[in-house]
Structures are given as C-alpha cells and as structure tokens.
Amino acid sequence: MKLPKSTDLPVNHLSAAFNDITNSYKFYWLLAILEKVKIGVTKINIDDLIIEMIGEVWYPINYFKLSFGRQDQFENAVKQIQQKFGYPKDIKKPELIKQLGRNKEKYEISQLTHKLSRWVPQRFLRPWFADELRGMQDQFVNNAIMERADRDFINVRKLSLYRFTDGNTIEISPLWKDYLLQHMQILKGFTYWHLINYLQKRNPNVANIPTKLFSPKQRQLTNARKFWDIYIATKVSILCIYSAQPILKDSYSIDHFLPWSFTGHDQLWNLVPTPKEVNSSKSDNLPAVNYINDYVALQYDAFHTVLMKMSGHSKLLEDYSVLFHQTLSEINTMKQGEFTTRMQDNLKPQLQIAKNMGFQENWVYQK
C-alpha cells in the first residue's frame, strides 16, 4: 500500500516511518496527529497527543486483550492505568480522554506521557534525516532531530512533518497540514493496514483483528433471536445450561459462550439463551469446562429442531455450515457423538487461546 505522491513534499519519508517497526507507538502517534489536524489544530501539546494515543489503543488492549509484543511497553502501561484508575474496559473514547486529561498529573499517566514524549515525537521524524544521523551515537540523536526539524521546517526539499516549538509542543508544517487533510482517509487506511499486519504477527491465532481496533458496534442478534424463538416455541421447557433456570420466550438474553470480545462475531453456534441476570454475571469470562457438554447438547438439539421446522432449507443456519465446512443436510446426518466431538474440537483450542490472552477462566454461575 502506497501513499499519494506530492510534488512539494518528501512523502517517502512519511512512508519510511513504518519501516522495521518493533513497537506500536508510531502507528498511534500518526493517528493522534491526524485526529488533531482534522479539527484544525496545528500546534499540538505532546501530552495531549499521547492521551489521544491511549484513547485509541484502549479497546485493543483492555477490551479485546490483543498482544502488542514483548518489546512494546505501551501494553503494560495502559493496563496499569486501567487497573489503577478503574476505568471501565468498555469506556467510550471521548469520556476516557476527558478522564485522562483530568488526571494527567497522576503518577501512572504522567510517567507514561513522559516516557513516550522522550522518544516517539523525535524518532518518528528520523527518516527525514536518516543520512545525517547515520553513525551518530544514540544519546545525541533526539537533539539532532529537533534541531534539524526546526532547520528544515520551511525547506521545500526536506520539509519535516513538524517542528518542536518548545519542550512539549509540536507545530505541523502548513504544507504537510494541507496534505494530511487532503488525504486523511488514505493516511488512516495506510496506518491501520500496517498496524493490522503488526498485530497479526503478534496474535497469530486470533481472529477478526481489524474489528478489534475500535469499540464494538451494535451487536446483530436478530437471527439469533429468531433461531432461539423457533426452538423455544417447540419445547415444553428448556433450562439454562449455566443456572438450570427455565428459559422464558419473552424474557431471555443471548449469551456468547466464547466471549464476544474474544470472537468478535455473533455466529449461531456460539450463542445460547440464558436468563438476563445469568448473562450479566458471566460478562466476558470464559465458562468452566463442565458446561461444554450441556452447551453442545443444546446446540445439537436446537440445530436439528430448527432445521426440521424450516423444512431443511434455511439461510438462518448457514453459520453451522461455515463451522463444520459441510452442507446443512450433511450436518443433519451426523450422529450426536460426531457433532459433539467436532464442536469440542473447535471450542477447546479457542478456550485455551482466550485464556492465554488473559480472559478470566473457569466462570461458574452463582446466585
């Protein structure tokens, strides 16, 4: 993926900022700059940019529990902020940024902003001055970059993206500001494309990474509700697999057996009906393994019941074809033992991956 060319700007230096990335800071630094430029701000406090970065990375780290790699200290620092201040994992970004701004003098936040401000703003500009910096001892690089960024702020051939106007403020070049505004969506796409590649390498067994960069959208449970309404209507009674409470047609909730914050999807094979208080209690915890048999037995019976009610032809059940890589009629001929084995073979590795990511395991319902 390439950035739009410019006759006036060294766009190749901006592209090179993402070469040989060993941590996520640069992605979120550029995204933060784009957010400020979008609202017309060109002289930007560095602490405010770092708080914007924390707001952007909050959901991938604290809600979806993605790994950012051993060398990336951003992950541990953001987790510590969540634990220290108790901000909800699903707090909305504008509210989080407001709260962080109010508390930015507190130790955990100030330490993170101080640490990042010592390296990220300067090192992001390194490609602009790569030839001049080659061979320079590391302790001198930051000052050299700041001096050269100021020197080349109006140098058309080099034209740095920004300069440092004081110890904690950057100023975006007017020409670069115009370029960023003109190509805002492409630049965001370029940054997220590189970020997704970065995260996929560090989370090779995790699905749906692109959807886990942002706060979740409204769940689409219309098909699930239709599916379970059909099933419940055909039964004299069914019981919750967690609490053994009866499931009532007009008052049940839909639970993601594997947490939605792990799977990122609403496929039918991962959904079961529960009383609302049970679903609320389970939250995004991993169920204890002793629930698996009841879960699979319910799925087996529900699949066959709804398939029969729909006369064997229903787009409603296509999620099962995706899971088993078979047609609905082929799944329908499975013995319960085979169905159970296939489901368990799918679930158990995912439970282990989710556990390794930090999801709380062995949840058991207690009144």
Same-domain status, 101 and 33? yes
Which of 307 and 71 is assigned the larger pLDDT? 307
Same-domain status, 153 and 278? no
Same-domain status, 27 and 65? yes
CB 170 within 8 A of CB 44: yes
Does some domain include residue 6? no
CB 176 within 8 A of CB 159: yes
State how far the alpha carbon of 198 is from the alpha carbons of 191, 192, 339, in Å. 11, 9, 36
Confidence of residue 155 (pLDDT cuts 50, 70, 90): low
Question: Could you say which of 183, 213, 243 is where a domain stops?
Answer: 213
Does some domain include residue 2? no
Same-domain status, 20 and 168? yes
Which of 4 and 152 is assigned the larger pLDDT? 4
Same-domain status, 184 and 92? yes
CB 3 within 8 A of CB 188: no
Q: How far apart are CA 220 and CA 29, in angstroms?
A: 33
Q: Is the pLDDT of residue 136 over 70?
A: yes
* DSSP-based three-state secondary structure for 5: coil
Q: Is the pLDDT of residue 68 over 70?
A: yes
Q: How far apart are CA 301 and CA 171, in angstroms?
A: 63
Does some domain include residue 365? no
Task: Please tell me the predicted confidence (pLDDT) of residue 3.
Answer: 93
Same-domain status, 250 and 200? no
- Strand 169-172 to strand 252-256: parallel, antiparallel, or no bridges (unpaired)? unpaired
User: What would the pLDDT profile of 23-57 be if each residue is shown by its tens digit?
Assistant: 899 999 999 999 999 999 999 999 999 999 999 99
Question: Could you say which of 213, 233, 264 is where a domain stops?
Answer: 213
Same-domain status, 180 and 309? no
Counted domains in the chain: 2
Where does the chain show beta strands of DSSP type E? 43-45, 162-166, 169-172, 252-256, 271-275
Q: Is the pLDDT of residue 366 over 80?
A: yes
* DSSP-based three-state secondary structure for 22: coil
Task: Please tell me the predicted confidence (pLDDT) of residue 184.
Answer: 96
Confidence of residue 238 (pLDDT cuts 50, 70, 90): very high
Kindly report the pTM of this predicted structure. 0.84
Boundaries of domain holding 262: 222-357
- Helix ranges (DSSP H) in 184-266: 184-202, 222-234, 260-263
Same-domain status, 39 and 95? yes
Q: What percent of the chain has pLDDT over 70?
A: 98
CB 316 within 8 A of CB 306: yes
Does some domain include residue 3? no
Task: Please tell me the predicted confidence (pLDDT) of residue 157.
Answer: 64
Task: Please tell me the predicted confidence (pLDDT) of residue 45.
Answer: 93
Same-domain status, 195 and 252? no
